[in-house]
Amino acid sequence: MEERHFGPVWFIPGHNSGKYPYCHSLYIEGPGILIDPSSDRDRLKQLKQNQGVRSVWLSHWHEDHFMHLDLFDDVPLWMSAADAQPLSSIDNFLDAYGIEEDFRELSKVFFKEQFRFRPRKPDRFLKNGEVIKFDSLSIEVIHTPGHTPGHLTFFFKESEVLYMGDYDLSSFGPWYGDVYSDIEEIRKSVTRLQSIPAKIWLTAHEKGIFEDFPDDIWHNYLDVIDKREQKLLDFLENPRSIDEIAHAWIVYGKPREPESFYLFGEKGIMQKHLARLAVGGKIGLKNDKYFKL
């Protein structure tokens, strides 16, 4: 992928098309804002040295958005208050993911070594609806919870560019495996994003740049949620434990490495669907096995 500039909004592509564990970053020329520093480490170093980075903004707290934050220990960090707690310590970070005790020590090594996790305290909290102005540049902060409680998106008004973070419109669909991820909030946030009068839509992963209104893509993206739920319901024609459900790979389609990490994601997302199906009276639980009613 190539770097693209939309006025002062610079799209910095991540390695491997911004697929996990990378993401695309934004650099905002003028105020020197860097958003989601997990793209290309060498390019981010160049930006800091040549253009200057005066603040780093995070769309949310996930590791694939702060991998290179260590390059900017001396730069103020801005993000939402609702997503600040996980970054305050490695234990708070693991708690937000809901990582169980027998997996915690391995997880600490994983996040510290691969993603350079270091505790950070934000210097400023970004708030929903505020418009931050820098000379001829206006940035509207939009709270879009669901993926995480404090997930933020940014609308650059003069350039009519909307950065949607992890509402990435990928064929994979939304990710909601955290303790506090919420499927219905995701639906509401996507509906809100559809109403923003943008002409360019940027995302943190995969395709990254949409220059035409992504009409059917919005629908297909959300439709993944319903398809996952139907596959799960079909799988529960026979009673299944949560481990059996996770190993069915309904979300990821097939095993991935490290398997324990992706099984954790499978389990987290499937638990959200199990809770929804139970509330709807569609499944039951007996002897630690779920079954279709």
User: Is the domain defined by 4-213 classed in CATH 3.60.15.10?
Assistant: yes
DSSP secondary structure letter of residue 14: P
Contact at 8 Å (CB) between 129 and 106?
Answer: no
- 21 preceded by cis ω (within 30°)? yes
Instruction: Summarize pLDDT for 74-100 with one digit per residue, the tens.
Output: 999 999 999 999 999 999 999 999 998
DSSP secondary structure letter of residue 209: E
Q: Supply the pTM of this predicted model.
A: 0.96
What pLDDT does residue 141 have? 98
What is the domain partition of the chain in residue ranges?
4-213, 225-292
Instruction: Summarize pLDDT for 162-186 with one digit per residue, the tens.
Output: 999 999 999 999 999 999 999 999 9
What pLDDT does residue 271 have? 97
Rounded to an integer, the average pLDDT of 250-279 is: 94
DSSP secondary structure letter of residue 13: P
CATH of segment(s) 225-292: 1.10.10
> Strands, DSSP E only, in the chain?
4-6, 9-12, 25-28, 33-35, 55-57, 77-79, 124-125, 131-134, 137-143, 152-156, 161-163, 200-202, 209-210, 283-286, 289-292
pLDDT range class, residue 258, cuts 50, 70, 90: confident
| pLDDT at 261 > cutoff 90 | no
pLDDT range class, residue 259, cuts 50, 70, 90: confident
What pLDDT does residue 190 have? 97
Rounded to an integer, the average pLDDT of 240-252 is: 97
What pLDDT does residue 103 have? 87
CA dihedral 131, 185, 21, 142 (to 10 degrees): 0
> Which residues, 6 or more positions from 113, have their beta carbon under 8 angstroms from its beta carbon?
none
Residue 278, burial from CB neighbour count under 10 angstroms (0-12, 13-18, 19+):
middle
pLDDT range class, residue 23, cuts 50, 70, 90: very high
